[in-house]
Amino acid sequence: MRVVAARLGGFVQRRGFAATARRLDSYGFVGLGQMGYQMAKNLQSKLKPSDRVIVFDINPAAMKGLEAEVKHATNGAAVELAASAFDASKDADTVITVLPEPQHVQGVYGSILTSSLPKKDRVFIDCSTIDPSTSRRVAESVTDAGQGTFVDAPMSGGVVGATAGTLTFMLGAGAGTVPRVEPVLLLMGRKVLHCGEQGAGLSAKLANNYLLALSNIATAEAMNLGMRWGLDPKTLAGVINVSTGRCWPSEVNNPVKGVTETAPAGRDYRGGFGISLMKKDLRLAMVAAKEAGANMALADAAFGVYEEAEKLDECNGRDFSVVYRYLGGKE
């Protein structure tokens, strides 16, 4: 596989320009939620017919749905349904997990790493967004069991990116493991950012999402403030986006309807990155910060905004930019 690497601020960004990944015979895939389902589809479609993808999810309908979708595919790997996470992993060379919370990751790996699991030099790729400490404990359990290597590879891009195969993965892995893991991730995404040793991918993602959580609230407040002073929202956003306040929430995901045509604000805040997911990532960042002894002066206030907004029917289940509505912004 031809890969171009460029060093960016301490980490290596890699982008693949070909799809000839190192082929392994058997892949286990555990977790077919909104993200995992689409990732598994992309993985299956880009493997060769002699490969296998063995999937498991606690929701049988998700497994059967994936099986039905690929049944008549003329290319790609065979898909098999497993009865458990253990069964999906026992013959696999590579196991990919995409799970909701730290306790789910711990539970799944606890069920996999039993004395009945055949010894093999597997690579476990966990794409869940959890706290780095839990991830490191799971990595230690894989090493202690002599079952290979565990890496963290949380992703950015949402369901749209998962469907299109354009995800960005933040990889925490030893340098020697990167060549083995990166080609697999590039079957499901567009970029792999190697952030450092195991756990570093999660640290990078949570630091980024902490900043995103704060800048989203600040953008909503600034837009509301300017509009209450009589400013036109597009004019205000135009000033911000060529000035020092410019950020992703102001430019791409503006919380005011009509400012950015493609933003969720124009769809009653439907789609996008859910407020519950932002609250979760913020909570995880706060846990990790406390363990690291890092002072997070704005964290509690920001968490309170997302927590209270999520309780409202008009905000629950919507994109995290809906905090503009919670703050009383004019719509």
Neighbours of 73 (CB within 10 A): 14
What is the b/e burial string over 112-147, where b = at least 16 CB atoms within 10 angstroms of the residue's CB?
bbeeebeeeebbbbbbbbbbbebbbebbebbeeeeb
pLDDT recorded at residue 246: 98
3-196 topology per CATH: Rossmann fold (3.40.50)
Mean pLDDT value across residues 26-47: 96
pLDDT recorded at residue 301: 98
Percent of the chain exceeding pLDDT 70 equals 93
Mean pLDDT value across residues 305-328: 98
Neighbours of 17 (CB within 10 A): 9
Instruction: Work out the widest C-alpha separation in the chain, in whole angstroms.
Output: 68
Which residues have a catalytic role annotated? 205
pLDDT of 2 strictly over 50: no
What are 54-107's pLDDT values in tens digits?
999 999 999 999 999 998 787 899 999 999 999 999 999 999 999 999 999 999
pLDDT recorded at residue 71: 85
DSSP alpha helix (H) spans, the chain: 34-46, 60-70, 85-89, 102-112, 132-144, 158-164, 178-185, 200-228, 233-240, 248-251, 275-292, 299-310, 323-326
Tell which phi-psi region holds residue 10, choosing left (phi > 0), alpha (psi between -120 and 50) or beta: left
Mean pLDDT value across residues 141-157: 97
pLDDT of 225 strictly over 70: yes
pLDDT recorded at residue 13: 52
CATH class name, domain 204-326: mainly alpha
pLDDT recorded at residue 200: 98
Take residue 17 and report the two structure tokens written for it: 């320009």
pLDDT recorded at residue 73: 80
Which of 18-27, 116-125, 128-137 is least confident? Answer: 18-27
pLDDT of 21 strictly over 60: no
Q: Compute the distance between CA of residue 192 and CA of residue 15 in angstroms, rounded to an integer.
A: 7
Mean pLDDT value across residues 190-213: 98
Mean pLDDT value across residues 274-297: 97
C-beta of residue 119 within 8 angstroms of C-beta of residue 147: yes
Mean pLDDT value across residues 104-117: 97
Neighbours of 26 (CB within 10 A): 21
pLDDT recorded at residue 25: 78
pLDDT of 24 strictly over 60: no
Domain ranges of the chain: 3-196, 204-326
